[in-house]
Structure 1
Amino acid sequence: MSNFDHLSLDGRLLQLLVTVIDEGSITRAAERLGVTQSAVSHLLDKLRGIVGDPLFVKSGRGIVATARAEELAVHARVLLDELRRFATAAEFDPTQLAATFTIAANDFQRDLLLPLLLDRLRAAAPGVTLRVIPSDVPTPEMLRDAHCQLAISPRPPEAGDILQKRLFEDSYRVFYDAACRTAPDGLDDYLAAEHVTVLYEPRRSLDIDNLLAAQGIQRRFVASVPGFAGIPSFLRGSPRLATLPGLLGGGLLHGLASVAPPLPCPPMPMYMIWHLRHRHDPAHSWLRNQLEAVVPLALGHSAGAPEHA
């Protein structure tokens, strides 16, 4: 049990913990903070006494954080953001905002939502730019470490410091080239066809593929691609099928016909996901509101995809 009062904690100690973890070195942490190595060591000793944990242990020529230190760093980042907001509290004005928002999204979410979002952001905040990175399967770490401010995915990571909100849900459709074949006539015809799907690296299947496989539905996959953008070239001019989110019909799969799957499929939800430290941040709240506002428009744009009964 620590003999120190928790009130001995201050922002400098929290920043020290985060910096040493980020740098993985006392020397580099000291350089980044503009203090001596002995000052870093002294403050680490004080922090160890407060939390009752060694925080860092030697590993080869360097140091590694203990599990307790990693856990504390998650909370430290939240507290540091709260301290910054406390010191700079003011009415939020998007016209004065100069920032780059990094959003993690795969090609489906990216093409459906983010061009519309950028238009809306730029209209209200000319100083804002958007950086888009692949989300793959979002992890808590990519949000904790400020790798991105927001992720859009059907798979929110499960962690106590990660928040989420459902944006919409989509229905699955079976896509095909109507110039080369008719819609699959029942389950037997569906299973007899050749199929194309998306397989994210490293070998992460779509939720619908995992679900059907778990039900014993065996399809004959002849190709897999790393994103939805690769699907159309494998369908056009062929009798192949692809079972994918229906909203793709208004974007990446425009011009291909689609039909409801010949077996029950649950809807696919889509979430925006962010870290707890951004919960009350005015700029981040504004960003989330802008993303929610473009969803109805995006869904309306995608409503005219070719379909066959």
Structure 2
Amino acid sequence: MENPVSTLRSVNMNLLPILAELLRSANVTRAAGRLNLTQSTVSGSLRQLREIFGDELLVQRGREMLLTERARRLVPDVERIMELSGRLFQSEQFDPLTAATRFRIATADYVSALVTSRLGPAMQDQAPNVTLTLTPTPGTSAKELQLGSLDLIICPNLPSNWQACGIGRSDDDFRHEIFMQDDLVAIQWRSHPSGGKALNQKEYLERPHAMYCRTDGHDTIEQETLTRLGLRQRTQFQVPYFTLLPQLVVGTDIIGLVPRSLALHYVQIFEIDIFNPPFELPTMDLVMIWASSRDAFPDLTWLRQMVRKASSDAVAATYSNHC
């Protein structure tokens, strides 16, 4: 296996920002302008990059240039390397007003739905050049947090969720914080004959259900609870997003289970009735997880503060509107 240090020493690292800009703009002239370099310099760099990668990277198609398949595959890795390089050489201070940091958070869809309503305006005001990418939690891993390709994982504070990420709660390589408490409630169409009424267990189980399901194969809180209690319901739909369930129940007999914060958020949009299911469910505390090695990074400290405040504000506003 080739030594990575030897590989780096054999490559002119000044080509990296030029490669990044060429991949972004797919245009030599435009890349030269953005880099404040001459067109001939960028053209010469492109020739060197083609030789290094053994690929044309940019090909002429009519009046425009297009990225090759190899170039398209390079884009996410090059962007991440540029970001990490910037972090490596930046000072220990972090000024969100001037920063152009790219953050990546893996989280549940319903957390994204709640938080972004508050996080968007706050970031535009406080960090106009900061970029935030939200991705689903299934498929995320401990390694991504340690490598810095992922900044934060937000998930229910349950053993199966920790296990799915390959992280142990007592693992010293990671830090975590429970920042939001929630519980699951049932929803149905507000105009249904049983709307506003309590359902007994038999009525509840005989109705068709729409159920959130995890794409990593692990059981959800709903599935675990039904199994533990020996109950069987008629599940008609299984969907990978909590945010789809309020839409599914409207105009039907269907019942769904969603986090209370999400139900209160969507009761203002959809005609849904919120009620407690006829059996006890565990609470769903949400936890933020990050790498211990990056615990004191000023930019990540700021990010956690932003998520914490956005979550608190979103939940407070949701409950206030419902009262």
- TM-score, L = length of structure 2: 0.65
CA deviation after TM superposition for structure 1 residue 98, in Å: 1.5
Are residue 214 (structure 1) and residue 228 (structure 2) matched? yes
Partner of 1:34: 9
Partner of 2:311: 295
CA deviation after TM superposition for structure 1 residue 149, in Å: 0.5
Q: Structure 1: how far apart are the matches of 2:216 and 2:5?
A: 33
Partner of 2:257: 243
CA separation of 1:90/1:233 partners in 2, compared to 1, >3 Å: closer, same or farther?
closer
CA separation of 1:144/1:181 partners in 2, compared to 1, >3 Å: closer, same or farther?
farther
Partner of 2:59: none
CA deviation after TM superposition for structure 1 residue 233, in Å: 3.6
Task: Flag structure 2 segments of 5+ consecutive residues without an equivalent.
Answer: 12-83
Partner of 1:67: none
Partner of 2:149: 147
- Cα-to-partner distance string for 1:278-306 (whole Å, 9 max, x where unaligned): 10101111111121122221102322677
SS in 2 for 1:221: strand
Question: What are the within-5 Å matches in structure 2 for residues 88-103 of structure 1?
Answer: 89-103=91-105
The answer to whether the 8 Å contact 1:170/1:245 transfers is yes
Letter in 1 for 2:9: G
Partner of 1:193: 207
Task: Flag structure 1 segments of 5+ consecutive residues without an equivalent.
Answer: 1-24, 37-80
SS in 1 for 2:149: coil
CA separation of 1:220/1:305 partners in 2, compared to 1, >3 Å: closer, same or farther?
farther
Letter in 2 for 1:289: Q
Q: Choose the corresponding residue for 1:161, options 173, 181, 189.
A: 173
The answer to whether the 8 Å contact 2:246/2:263 transfers is no
The answer to whether the 8 Å contact 2:102/2:132 transfers is yes
CA separation of 1:188/1:305 partners in 2, compared to 1, >3 Å: closer, same or farther?
farther
Q: Structure 1: how far apart are the matches of 2:190 and 2:97?
A: 48
Letter in 2 for 1:168: M
Partner of 1:223: 237
Q: Count the aligned residue pairs.
A: 235
The answer to whether the 8 Å contact 1:249/1:302 transfers is no
User: C-alpha root-mean-square deviation of aligned residues, in Å?
Assistant: 2.6
Letter in 2 for 1:276: S
The answer to whether the 8 Å contact 1:193/1:240 transfers is yes
Deviates more, 1:263-272 or 1:208-217: 208-217
CA separation of 1:215/1:280 partners in 2, compared to 1, >3 Å: closer, same or farther?
same
CA deviation after TM superposition for structure 1 residue 173, in Å: 0.7
SS in 2 for 1:26: coil
Partner of 2:282: 266
The answer to whether the 8 Å contact 2:187/2:246 transfers is no
Q: Choose the corresponding residue for 1:172, options 184, 207, 211.
A: 184
CA deviation after TM superposition for structure 1 residue 179, in Å: 1.2
SS in 1 for 2:285: strand
- Cα-to-partner distance string for 1:78-115 (whole Å, 9 max, x where unaligned): xxx9xx87x86544332231211111112101111134
Letter in 1 for 2:103: F
SS in 1 for 2:190: coil
- Cα-to-partner distance string for 1:239-270 (whole Å, 9 max, x where unaligned): 11112211111335642111012122221101
CA separation of 1:90/1:130 partners in 2, compared to 1, >3 Å: closer, same or farther?
closer
CA deviation after TM superposition for structure 1 residue 224, in Å: 0.3
The answer to whether the 8 Å contact 2:210/2:248 transfers is yes
CA deviation after TM superposition for structure 1 residue 197, in Å: 0.3
SS in 2 for 1:132: strand
Q: Structure 2: how far apart are the matches of 1:97 and 1:263?
A: 49
The answer to whether the 8 Å contact 1:250/1:304 transfers is no
